[in-house]
A and B are shown apart, each in its own frame.
Chain A
Amino acid sequence: GQSLEQPSEVTAVEGAIVQINCTYQTSGFYGLSWYQQHDGGAPTFLSYNALDGLEETGRFSSFLSRSDSYGYLLLQELQMKDSASYFCAVRGGNNRKLIWGLGTSLAVNP
Chain B
Amino acid sequence: SQTIHQWPATLVQPVGSPLSLECTVEGTSNPNLYWYRQAAGRGLQLLFYSVGIGQISSEVPQNLSASRPQDRQFILSSKKLLLSDSGFYLCAWRSGSSGANVLTFGAGSRLTVL
Question: At the interface, yes or no: B106 with Cβ under 8 Å from chain A?
Answer: yes
B65 to chain A, nearest CB (A): 20
Q: Is there contact, CB below 8 Å, between B43 and A42?
A: no
Interface residues on chain B, size class: 10 to 19
Q: Which residue of the partner chain B has the closest CB to A35?
A: B103
A-B pairs with beta carbons under 8 A, tally: 46
Question: At the interface, yes or no: B101 with Cβ under 8 Å from chain A?
Answer: yes
Q: Which residue of the partner chain B has the closest CB to A43?
A: B105
Residues 79-102 (chain B) with a chain A CB within 8 angstroms:
90, 99-102
Q: Is there contact, CB below 8 Å, between A100 and B100?
A: no
Residues 48-104 (chain B) with a chain A CB within 8 angstroms:
90, 99-104
Interface residues on chain A, size class: 20 to 34
Q: Which of B42, B101, B108 contacts A89 (CB 8 A)?
A: B101
CA separation between A48 and B94, bound complex, in Å?
14
Q: Is there contact, CB below 8 Å, between B105 and A98?
A: no
Q: Is there contact, CB below 8 Å, between B42 and A31?
A: no
A36 to chain B, nearest CB (A): 11
Q: Is there contact, CB below 8 Å, between A91 and B101?
A: yes
Q: Which residues of A contact B104 (CB under 8 A)?
A: 45
With known contacts A42-B90, A42-B106, A102–B101 Cβ distance under 8 A: no
CA separation between A30 and B30, bound complex, in Å?
22
Q: Is there contact, CB below 8 Å, between A98 and B108?
A: no
**Can you give 5 contacting A-B residue pairs, CB < 8 Å?**
A30-B100, A31-B101, A48-B102, A91-B100, A98-B103
